[in-house]
Structure 1
Amino acid sequence: MPFPDFIHHGGASGVTGSCHQLVANAQSSLLVDCGLFQGEDAATDSFQQLQVEFDLSVVQALVVTHVHIDHIGRLPYLLASGFTGPIICSQPSALLLPLVIEDALKIGFTKDSKVIEQFLARVQKQLVPLDYKQWHTLVDSNQLHMKVKLQRAGHILGSCYVEVALHYKQENTKKRVVFSGDLGAPWSPLLPAPKSPYKCDYLVLESTYGDRLHGNRQNRAKRLKVAIEKALKNQGSVLIPAFSIGRTQELLYELEGLVHNAGGLWKDLEIIVDSPLAAKFTKVYRQLKPYWDKEAQRRLRAGRHPLNFENLYTVNTHQEHEATVAYLAKTGRAAVVIAASGMCAGGRIVNYLKAMLGDEHHQVLFVGYQASGTPGRKIQKYGPSGGYVDLDGQRYSIRAGVDTITGYSAHADQKDLLNFIKRMRYWPKEIRLVHGQEEARLAIKNKIEEIYFNKQQLIKVILPK
């Protein structure tokens, strides 16, 4: 078998369940992410799909690109299967990861606090946080030297892409492998945009938005303002399904800007975060201000508090949540509600949708990717034509307004993904397109082959199954 080789245990032909194995040689391999399957990617026999049945004896480490559940949600199964190696991640991810895993355990495994504490203690023991741009050696044998380096990916706080340097000593050959993880896009609040590596031989590249371009990201705050004011004029509330980490904090940052600069209704507009998990993440985001970008640092120096402003309210207990849903549904109070989950597949947003989808005064505003098969995708698709959606086995008519702002995606679009390749000094000779639906992967495959053809360079583009 020629090395390096790649095995994909999820997140290859779908957009969730990311789990990629770099086989450096017969004795040593590296696992990049170990995520949960969601939406149509989730098999009918979901328990079987979650099992970790590949050989862990040769896995030297798990590298976590970021802490979204579709990248780390199978971690409990990995550890239960006997993985005792290091869990490598960035310094910010080391603070965020235990929060995500604790929540995942409570939802999918147990509410026994003692069991959860024991598991988190084990995770903490295996965590190896690295600074960005720091090489870390994993293997140094007679045959192989393997080291990894994390670089900012700009997707969420702590996200990284992974550079792996391989030195095959007996052949005296060197190979450089890059796993993109989820790449962010330019103009994201709080985070600097990713910078491409200097060189790469093998690239494992995400392709979530490989077939499309985002709207003008610089003007997205204006579009957010217009969408919210539309609902306010209808005397209703705006419901924003958002992931607890990343999207929620970006929205708060831009909403603070709108409240700060606008007058009228905005001055008294309640911004409600109804997610204890999102509140915990936001608190950690505030602790990690040194990792914010330059624009966010300027706001801080001006005495502003982008993630902790006066109009911001947090709903914690379930009783407070039920009271808030009932109050907004009954009164139509002007408010913006940010609640998980981002694809409406569970979480507190579902109760808001049940109570308010049937009222034309309200507005559902999507700011993130909605995977096929999720309630969010169905609301997005059928809502504008007055359709319906099934939530928890019951049918709900959609009379509320439905809008989407694509510029808020935390993923790079087709142009950004191509730029990630083009801005390398030495382009890869092999690219494996993962984390995308078939049409997205085919679209960017064609674009990649086109730019290589124009540069008169050879490229092998693989679409793993």
Structure 2
Amino acid sequence: MGNCCGTVIEKAGEMGKITLEILGGGEEIGRLSVLVSRNNSGILLDCGINFDENGNPQMPLYVPPKRVKAIALTHAHLDHTGAVPLYFVSSKIPTYMTKATKDVLRPLMEDYLHISGYYLPFEYEEIAKLFKNTKTVKYGEQVEINGYTLEFINAGHIPGSMSVIVNVSDKRVLFTGDLNLAETELVYPANYREEAKDIDFLVIETTYATTEHPRREDVEKRFIEAVKEVVENNGIVLVPAFSVSRSQEILVVLRKYGIDVPVYYDGMVREINRIFLSNKAFLKNHGLLRKAIKDFIEIRGWQDRKAILESGGPAVIVASSGMLRGGPSSYFLRKIYDREENGIFLVSFQAPNTPGRLIVERGIFEEGMVERIRARVEWFDFSSHAGRTELLKAIDDLRSSLEKVILVHGEPDVQRKFAEEISEKYGLNVIIAKNGDKIVI
């Protein structure tokens, strides 16, 4: 049986040794960042942020930029990218990502900087320098840099998401980023069996490592049935959704099943729609997304919002933000929550201490509310992360060559249970990474 749940901490930079330095994402979801190093310099994989209970950003651990020969960003979500401008305050580091990630990431970062009420240690200048040093890559491409060879493969998470294989010395390290092996309407799933051969070390996300997601088709059908029930009662369905990927998937599902009432979309969803349409190579269903955007109605401002509410239902509104922390979804929520014929259908992850989580757990959207929400509230599991079965499949597809599995991007209790299962099922050495660990491989 393998070594379950241990951590290996040795001095980084030991000559000739390959080291995984866990800068973020250890026993936590978000701010993922790992440095694969040899001779005290190497490749930085992701550099994200997460938020404390007051909404303040938490940065990963930092290494001197002179130690970073290149950066690879797996996808555009800020929990994997939000701190990377820190490395461009005084440096120029080649940074690899897909074109779809690049196109989405710039407006996301600029919007985050614009709306942040918290001091950030970088400005627009550093964001501009990041993109000036960005090199776009395609799935299947290989890049050689300073003794490392990087390979990029589809991760199945959102359009343009990638997993990264780092070849150094005679070892192959697979960094999954966020991973999905399930079929969705928007992107093709990851296929490690065919695209990730002879992996020695696997650094794998564990967001839902003890959760079994329902079949996507079943989720879609339940969602559509619920939408129809509300609109047939002349109600308004509000679908708060992440602007990147989740909103587009919901629009495609609504178009696929032929919802025949006005469907509106609002917020940053509008810009991301246009970006995804210009990145056809990363979409499974480009034609259906194009039809959805053409057939559905873009909300262009406050006059449109007021007009929709004045005209009443039936209608469906897909709007950011997905957790109702701001944006037009928050505005619409306050206008429709007190009527029984309306629906608030959550389709995104709801973090603790967010309005969305309060709605699901307590039927309110802010502390101190006297009147409970009267609209119908439901949550639908449109997750873009692999669940337990999919994560085990990924490991099973790779296990013939694996020496170690390193767990990141997950809650500690979940990771302990998953580590035990991997160890018992496959006899593999499993490490639950902690922030600050230096794992010599």
TM-score of the aligned structures, taking structure 1 as reference length: 0.82
Rounded Cα–Cα distance in structure 1 between residues aligned with 2:434 and 2:174: 16
Aligned to 2:172: 176
Q: Is the 8 A contact 1:231 1:238 kept in 2?
A: yes
Of 375, 380, 394, which aligns to 2:355? 375
Rounded Cα–Cα distance in structure 2 between residues aligned with 1:439 and 1:52: 23
Of 293, 309, 315, which aligns to 2:294? 309
Structure 2 matches for 1:227-238, cutoff 5 A? 227-238=226-237
Residue 188, structure 1, aligned to residue 200, structure 2: no
Give CA-to-partner distance per residue, 1:120-147, whole Å, 9 cap, x none: 54232110111211111121xxxxx212
> How many residues are treated as equivalent by the alignment?
414
Aligned to 2:319: 339
Mark the CA change 1:238 to 1:44 in structure 2 (over 3 Å): closer, same or farther: closer
More helix by share: 1
Q: Is the 8 A contact 2:88 2:126 kept in 1?
A: no
What runs of 5+ residues in structure 1 fail to find an aligned partner?
140-144, 168-173, 260-265
Aligned-pair Cα RMSD in Å = 2.5
Give CA-to-partner distance per residue, 1:336-379, whole Å, 9 cap, x none: 11111122222221112222223222211121222223222221
Mark the CA change 1:51 to 1:424 in structure 2 (over 3 Å): closer, same or farther: closer
Greater relative CO, 1 or 2 (CA 8 Å, sep 6+)? 2
Structure 2 matches for 1:445-456, cutoff 5 A? 445-453=419-427
Aligned to 2:275: 284
Secondary structure (helix, strand or coil) at the match of 1:364 reads: strand
Give CA-to-partner distance per residue, 1:398-421, whole Å, 9 cap, x none: 222111111x11111111111111
Aligned to 1:398: 373
Q: CA deviation at 1:109?
A: 7.6
Residue 131, structure 1, aligned to residue 138, structure 2: yes
Structure 2 matches for 1:1-40, cutoff 5 A? 1=11, 3-26=17-40, 28-38=41-51
Aligned to 1:351: 331
Q: CA deviation at 1:381?
A: 1.6
Aligned to 2:105: 97
Structure 2 matches for 1:101-120, cutoff 5 A? 101-108=109-116, 116=124, 118-120=125-127
Rounded Cα–Cα distance in structure 2 between residues aligned with 1:29 and 1:66: 20
Q: Is the 8 A contact 2:85 2:127 kept in 1?
A: no
Rounded Cα–Cα distance in structure 1 between residues aligned with 2:358 and 2:405: 33
Mark the CA change 1:355 to 1:76 in structure 2 (over 3 Å): closer, same or farther: farther
TM-score of the aligned structures, taking structure 2 as reference length: 0.86
Q: CA deviation at 1:22?
A: 2.0
Q: Percent identity?
A: 27
Give CA-to-partner distance per residue, 1:316-337, whole Å, 9 cap, x none: 33x236525xx42x55411111
Judge which range, 418-427 or 249-258, deviates more: 418-427
Q: Is the 8 A contact 2:85 2:130 kept in 1?
A: no
